Amino acid sequence: MHIGISITPFGHHPAAWRENGSPDTMDFKHLAAQVKKAEDGALDFAFFADRLGRRPIDDLSPQAVPFEPTTLVAALATVARKIGLIATAATSQHEPYNLARRFASLDTISKGRAGWNLVISPETVAREEEYIDVVSGLWDSWEDDAFVYDKASGRFFVPGKMHVLNHAGAHFKVRGPLNVNRSPQGKPLISQLLTGDTLDIAARSAELIFIGARSPDEARALVADITQRLGRHARMRSDVRILANVVPYIAGTAGEAREIRDRLDALPAAGEKPAGLEVFGSPIGTADRLQDWSETFGIDGFMILPPLVTESTHAFIDGVIPELSKRGMFRNAYMGSTLREHLGLRRPPHPASRSAGASR
């Protein structure tokens, strides 16, 4: 299965900061240590949400990360050199050219480990689709072998391998080409948190889909719905990875694990609890539950939302991951080097090479 982790300074429980918080907890080193821990467990990726995509911007929430996510991921990419890194960015926050550039650059800095977690406005579907098409088109500005760096002849790139987008649509007019090379993964990976009103955009464009369900029934229904919609966009189930959000409370026994949750619940908190399936158990019990869900929901794995940092993160990486590995359900070590390779997703071919292949 595939497992990622959503990183926050204190943990996803809205009262976590009351137990373990200090201003130092918010700094880069503390976040980087969590990412390194996840990398020790050979997780597929670390994920960074961004509240600005959706929330009022004067909400200084302890559940948010106090860095702009794309710059945070750029920094992390140089200190954690194997794990995938996904940053959230809303289409309302960036011009498409700037966003395409930022993520292509992140993919280059991370040598192929970057993902864009897409946040869109469901009210403007046509604009969102056009936006994603522009970004994706800009990512195809250069063919993989465009840059030849031929010092003797003085040719830095092959002119025919640069593609000017010349997009002129209802919402955007963008000439291109992008001023970043085609990135190591071909294109940065696109992920999306599934919500009821954005299912079709996810079915059309996302390669990694997060299910933020609070009950197993809700999770099953969302997976069934999205799987069915993929067909309408000529995509196969194997073209995407679907992960369910899980909030793991881990202790010696399920009862003790519940006590952690009850203790946190008893503290005053302003924010909402994270959207994910709660699980209470020992490391073995937690592994049992994840195994069961992965076999019965039709999903490919999980995104872990540790309720309390660093306790929950360490308990998961040190306890649950080895148990899953022992069962042959999770890797022991990284096999590939890019985020797509971690997820077992194919590298998208450049359209020019695709058509050349077809005509051969």
Partner 1 sequence: MSRANSRQMKLGAFLMAGGHHIGAWRHPDAVAEAGVDIDHFIGLAQMAEAAKLDMIFVEDAAAIRERNVNIASQAARSTGFEPLSLLAALAVNTSHIGLVATASTTYNDPYGLARTFASIDQLSGGRAGWNLVTSASELEAENFVSSGLRPHAQRYERAEEFAAAATAVWDSVDAGAYVVDGNVYVDPGKLHPVDHRGTHFTAAGLLDSPRSQQGRPVMVQAGASDAGKNLAARTADVVFTAAQTLEEGQEYYADLKARMPSFDREPDDLKILPGVSPIVGRTESEARAKYDALQELIPDEVGVALLASYLSVKDLSQYPLEGPLPEMPQTDGIQSRQQLIIDMGRRENLSIRQLARHFAGARGHWQLIGTPAQIADELEERFYAKAADGFNIMGALFPAGLEDFIILVIPELRRRGLFREEYEGRTLRENLGTRIPARGA
Selected from 33, 162, 254, 329, the binder of partner 1 by CB under 8 A is 162
Shortest CB 36 distance to partner 1, Å: 13
Under the binding rule (CB under 8 A), the answer on residue 339 touching partner 1 is no
- How many residues bind partner 1, per CB under 8 A? 65
> Is 313 annotated as belonging to a binding site?
no
Under the binding rule (CB under 8 A), the answer on residue 233 touching partner 1 is no
Phi, psi values for residue 280, rounded to 5°: -125, 125
Hunting for tokens 């699980």 — which residue is that? 279
Please tell me the distance from the alpha carbon of residue 291 to that of residue 299, in angstroms, as a whole number. Answer: 11
The amino acid sitting at 242 is I
Burial annotation 334-350 (CB, 10 A radius, 16+ → b, else e): eeeebbbbbbebeebeb
Q: How far is CA 97 from CA 27, 147, 169, 220, in A?
A: 30, 21, 14, 37
Under the binding rule (CB under 8 A), the answer on residue 139 touching partner 1 is no
Q: Which stretch binds partner 1 (CB under 8 A): 157-165, 201-209, 225-233, 302-310?
A: 157-165
> Binders of partner 1 among 54-93, rule CB under 8 A?
56-58, 60, 62, 64, 66-68, 70-72, 74-75, 77-79, 93
DSSP assignments along 23-85, one per residue: GGGGSHHHHHHHHHHHHHTT-SEEEE--GGGTS-TT---TTS-SS-HHHHHHHHHHH--SSEE
Q: Which stretch binds partner 1 (CB under 8 A): 99-107, 120-128, 216-224, 292-300?
A: 99-107
Helix (H, G, I), strand (E, B) or coil at 279: strand
Selected from 105, 117, 185, 312, the binder of partner 1 by CB under 8 A is 105
Shortest CB 173 distance to partner 1, Å: 4
> Is 296 annotated as belonging to a binding site?
no
Hunting for tokens 């070590």 — which residue is that? 333
How far, in whole angstroms, is CA 148 from its chain's centroid?
32
* Helix residue ranges, H only, 176-301: 199-205, 216-232, 254-265, 283-296
Under the binding rule (CB under 8 A), the answer on residue 179 touching partner 1 is yes
Task: Catalog residues that contact partner 1 under the rule CB under 8 A.
Answer: 17-19, 21-23, 25-28, 32, 51-52, 56-58, 60, 62, 64, 66-68, 70-72, 74-75, 77-79, 93-95, 97-98, 101-102, 104-106, 108-109, 111, 142, 147, 149, 151-152, 154-159, 162, 168, 173-181
- As annotated, the binding site for FMN includes 50, 88
